[in-house]
Structure 1
Amino acid sequence: AHLHSGELVAIKVQRPGMAPLLTLDALLFNMIGGQLKRFAKARKDLLVAVNEIVRHMFDEIDYVLEGKNAERFAILYSQGSGGEGRTSIKVPKVYWTYTRKSILALEWIDGIKLTDAERISKANLNRKKMIDEGLYCSLRQLLEDGFFHADPHPGNLVATEDGSLAYFDFGMMGDIPRHYRVGLIQMLVHYVNRDPLGLANDFHSLGFVPEGTDLHAVATALSVAFGDGRRQSNDFQV
């Protein structure tokens, strides 16, 4: 659409009746989760996971919240980026005058899908710089600031003609507490240093392994997964 000022905007309009439909879905999720916990001997935290999914479902249909998420993301990762040798991160501006809980008005940003190799080549974009910027932004989200885009698929992340990366759709976001960010950093350090016991302790502190687990047994399994250290990458399951 165009505003009266002539600015081109993207208008996101919610389908009517979404809240009652999601409420029904939430009830069904809880019923199924409860039955699985009771009869299938599922993990005890299954209902916690179900409740987390339901919470995000309702967050996604609140477009005022999505607009606030977009502005917070822009402040953290867009402002001040784009220095020498680095592409920038773009986030569409929110037009609050035209935004409501079920209507979202955003700045229009033209972009190229990251899966469209032909158009990226024709635009002479520096792929390595874009990959570096995307990786840098992702690491900042997960390890530095903790506020992360939880749905960065190719439809929500595009390349602009000037080589920037533009993020869209801020309905599904997450916050990583500082304790977990520090734990993730420690886990990466222990993985790079091939420290199996340190890594096992990290798994425990992050809640990846339950209380009472023999961490020395976990460390032994990790040592086997590391192999002789000559492989460039490792896949392992504890």
Structure 2
Amino acid sequence: MNGNARRTTSNVVQTEALANRRDDSVEYVGFRIDGQAVVLNLSEHQRLTPDRSLDLVNHSPTGYEWGYAGSGPAQLACGLLLDYYNDAQVAREHYIAFRNRVISQLECDGPAACWHLTGEEIDAAMATITDDVVALPDGGGPSPSLPENWRTVTRPDRRVFQRADRDHYIVLGEGTDGWLAVLCSQGDRAYPAPLASRTVSGDADVDRAVRALVDESNDLIEPPEGEC
């Protein structure tokens, strides 16, 4: 699959979500109580918790954050998009770009020491997001050679493997003497941080090197019971 096809598919899904957005006025507010981040959906008089978004991405099970590009803001971005559009694919594909564009800029300022984000502002931001789509598993199915908590992702210039239950990735690219496989994690960083790597010669078993990094990742953070 080429990059243009990936973006075209993403844009179609994004356009459908915008077309199906809520007609009523929606507003979210964020503030702190004893230092703890709290986000409310004012329209529904409900507190927005990470629980639902954690089924899609697991960046910050301890809670939301904002004001920078890290794991807590990533969880909030996914949670907000999922709550507002009620579309898992849109939330999963666009939450990183939405975090970078919107959530990282939120500040608790003014007399009320809080931030406000309306549905119109969410729509306006999403209308400008066309790239930076998060890699999704091809067809949502597991790779036959990897544990079930790992997926194979299509990229035009390299092979990428993505852990479904934690923010771990393996990127396989051409190195100076063969292949370089790198295990990395987004974590609290704006860019992925390498955790481990394998240098594979041209005639070596690349799949075995990838599987070794997969096992290393699973040993670092065990997947939930029944997913491996």
Normalised by the shorter chain, which TM-score bucket? 0.3 to 0.5
Normalised to the residue count of structure 2, the TM-score between the two structures is 0.34
Normalised to the residue count of structure 1, the TM-score between the two structures is 0.33
Question: Which structure is higher in helix share?
Answer: 1
Of structures 1 and 2, the larger Rg is shown by 1
Question: Which structure is higher in strand share?
Answer: 2
